[in-house]
Amino acid sequence: MGWNSWNTFMSGISDTLLRQTADAMVTNGMRDAGYQYINIDDGWAMPNRVNGHLQPDPVKFPNGFKPVTDYLHSKGFKFGIYSDRGTKTCVQQAPGSHGYETTDAEDFAAWGVDYLKYDNCNPASFSIQEGDYRRMRDALAATGRPIVFSICAWKFKKWMPQLGNLWRTTDDISDNWENIMGIIDTNEKLASYAGPGKWNDPDMLVVGCNGTVDVQNGKSFDMPEMADKRGMTDIEYQTHFSMWAVMAAPLIAGNDLRNMPKAVKEILLNKEVIAVDQDVLGRQGVKVWEDGKGLSIYSKELKGTHTRAVVLLNRTQKNERITAEWNDIGIPLGSATVRDLWRHVEIGNFNERYSVYVPPHGVVFLRIVGEAGKLRSN
């Protein structure tokens, strides 16, 4: 869990922004809720190496990284940086790490880096993708510093779980409903590859981004006038956050944390939903039911006897009733307790199923615990 600058600030990053973000995360409770990593993305390096070393932009980071990483560490955070397996990063201004893996990994370790997002742009050759990622993985390991390795190659490949701690399963996220639903459908099918220490990454959150990033509709940072257009409604942001949690996805916020509306704060700080995401079993939830017309149910096994996190998702434009059958979600037939994780209430005991109306583009997020020992034989 953490934060990354890209979805709001693109390359507009700085020492000051990182410190202000860290301070905000302490004040607003995000640090204590588990958001640990503060990560910069593309746009921190100068166009040229000096004596083979990447150079932090002196305007953005006047004293290099060490003072700011020391500050982040002193506040209990970890620091993430970005590079690329190719000869240039995606924004093209900065060199990639190709051929410099050892030097760059050693510099990252010396700067106090705890996390590396490693992108896939401008490769020296397309056919050497796995080798490029393997070389950086080995170079990081050789530094002796534990550094999370985040593979960002926009599509799952079978070699990724051997090399990375997380791997992007889709193209870049956009702050719009259709894009989020598409990402869910791709990422959900890869559930069997996820587990403790190795995660499918459906990309950084856009909760509260207000449309700053919407690649799909041509909105981008090249069009700053679009930045004040709201991307999704609060209900849709709640759905996005719920689905990332039930899929045990990395929760990397992407909005401006220094300035959050109450509704956005309540979404990112819902500790019951975060607990589902972070559950120690590390299971990724799967789709267990759908009606083919926009209603579906996702179930994630949690630690504890007969315990499931269950999302009832309504993709339609109307209020719709969804019924969770114990049979479908993996709870033994008989009585089970149902808790609503957005309303924070115990709803009660139910036999065999629970039925509820779900708002358009909304979810109902439940924690369901079957009563052990009440198994019915038929």
For 162, the 3-state DSSP assignment is: helix
Site for ligand GLA in 152-171 (CB under 6 A): 152, 154
Q: Based on the shown chain and the rule CB under 6 A, indicate whether residue 119 belongs to the binding site for ligand GLA.
A: yes
Active site residue 234: no
Query: Closer to ligand GLA at the Cβ: 10 or 267?
Result: 10
Q: Read off φ and ψ for residue 350, nearest 5 degrees.
A: -135, 150
Site for ligand GLA in 42-81 (CB under 6 A): 42
Among 101, 114, 172, 301, binds ligand GLA (CB under 6 A): 172
Q: How many residues in the shown chain lie near ligand GLA by CB under 6 A?
A: 9
- With beta carbons less than 8 A apart as the criterion, state whether 95 and 47 touch: yes
Q: Which residues contact 315 (CB under 8 A, 6 or more apart)?
A: 181, 294, 295, 296, 361
Q: Do you know the residue count of the chain?
A: 378
Nearest CA to 175 out of 118, 215, 234, 203 is that of: 215
**Helix or strand run (H / E) with residue 240:** helix 234-246
Interaction pattern, residues 120-159, with ligand GLA; x per rule: CB under 6 A: --------------------------------x-x-----
Q: Based on the shown chain and the rule CB under 6 A, indicate whether residue 91 belongs to the binding site for ligand GLA.
A: yes
Query: Closer to ligand GLA at the Cβ: 41 or 132?
Result: 41
Query: Closer to ligand GLA at the Cβ: 94 or 329?
Result: 94
Query: Closer to ligand GLA at the Cβ: 41 or 277?
Result: 41
Smallest distance from ligand GLA to CB 7, Å: 8
Location of structure tokens 């065999």 = 352
Q: Based on the shown chain and the rule CB under 6 A, indicate whether residue 90 belongs to the binding site for ligand GLA.
A: yes
Q: How many degrees, rounded to 5, is the angle at CA 265 between CA 261 and CA 269?
A: 180
Active site residue 172: yes
Burial class (CB in 10 A: 0-12, 13-18, 19+), 317: exposed
- Interface with ligand GLA by CB under 6 A: which residues? 6, 41-42, 90-91, 119, 152, 154, 172
**Residues known to be catalytic:** 119, 172
